[in-house]
Amino acid sequence: MDSMRPDEIRFAQKTISNHFDNGKLIGETLDDLCEGRCRVEDIPTISVCRIKGKWYSADNRRLWVFQKLHELKKCDTIPVLVVNDIPKRKLTTDNKGKSVEVIGSPGGKWFKKIKSPYKPCRKVKSRKTSDIKMLTS
């Protein structure tokens, strides 16, 4: 079995559910990992596939958890299983897998501690022209 940094793996899907099939919220799983109630090795291994030079996974909810864990500096690498393809029905990303939208609240508390690399923008009307400018807060 290989291992990779979670931030090297892209999402195959555009959106994911906020919970696993057993009903547990993805953010609660992140909390369990952060607080030592389970280990990365306790989570089923994600499969990855190389597509156009980039690594993708169809196991997007687990990847979301592992990426957040990595952002929190709680893990460096995760075990992965390299596969030959991803089912076409799971290839729905529209941003080359750089991010995924969680449908509903992920729950938990640890993901809220992650600092966004982007500052929120606000629209300001210029006094000289009627153009709208984007300024960082």
* Cβ–Cβ < 8 Å for 83, 47: yes
Which pair of structure tokens corresponds to residue 54? 């980039």
Facing residues of 35 across strands?
A: none
Taking only the tens place, the pLDDT of each residue in 91-100 is: 999 999 999 9
- Total tally of structural domains belonging to the chain: 1
The DSSP output letter for 21 is T
Per the structure, the complete domain to which residue 40 belongs is given by: 2-136
Over range 112-116, report the average pLDDT: 71
State the pLDDT at residue 114.
79
Q: Are 47 and 81 in contact (CB under 8 A)?
A: yes
- Checking if the pLDDT of 3 tops 60, the result is yes
pLDDT of residue 113: 82
Cβ count near 96 (within 10 Å) = 12
Residue 38 pLDDT > 90, yes or no? yes
* CB-based contact 24:75 (threshold 8 Å): no
